[in-house]
């Protein structure tokens, strides 16, 4: 198999995975996860999740970026994880990795007001 064919196969697999997790996402599911796991997930996990959430709500954010964001947030809210969230200390590391990757993809479209709203939400949830 050529590198080009292997890359195309990997991209198709990634697209399928993103679509699957996008289907897991809902506003209600997102806020439920935040409410139930805010203390356990902590600021390191919730800050990028909330920043992405507010970026996805912005009409200026391109659809392709929203697709990436909703895929990452879908993984965050999904009960099926590579590392189950109930495992102490390491339970959210996979979520943080997926959220960090989405932040990298969406970075050019994340505005200061998205980060500000995320910070305000963090203060409400974590004090």
The tokens describing 76, both together, are: 């965050």
pLDDT digits (tens, 9 = 90+) for 66-108: 999 999 998 888 877 777 766 766 778 888 999 999 999 999 9
Alpha carbons 62 and 65: distance in angstroms, whole number? 5
Residue-level pLDDT at 4: 44
Q: Do residues 53 and 36 lie in contact, with contact meaning Cβ atoms separated by under 8 Å?
A: no
Alpha carbons 83 and 62: distance in angstroms, whole number? 30
Q: Which residues contact 120 (CB under 8 A, 6 or more apart)?
A: none
Residue-level pLDDT at 58: 97
Residue 15, pLDDT above cutoff 70: no
pTM of the predicted model as reported, rounded to 2 decimal places: 0.75
112 vs 83: which has the higher pLDDT: 112
Q: Which residues contact 45 (CB under 8 A, 6 or more apart)?
A: 92, 95, 96, 99
């Amino acid at each position: 198999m050529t590198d080009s064919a292997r890359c195309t196969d990997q991209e198709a697999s990634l697209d399928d995975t993103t679509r699957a997790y996008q289907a897991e996402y809902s506003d209600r599911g997102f806020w439920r996860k935040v409410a139930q796991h805010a203390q356990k997930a902590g600021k390191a996990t919730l800050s990028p999740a909330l920043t992405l959430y507010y970026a996805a709500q912005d009409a200026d954010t391109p659809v392709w970026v929203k697709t990436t964001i909703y895929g990452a947030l879908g993984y965050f809210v999904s009960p099926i994880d590579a590392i189950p969230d109930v495992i102490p200390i390491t339970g959210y590391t996979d979520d943080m990795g997926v959220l960090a990757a989405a932040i990298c993809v969406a970075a050019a479209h994340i505005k200061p007001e998205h980060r500000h709203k995320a910070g305000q939400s963090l203060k409400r949830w974590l004090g």
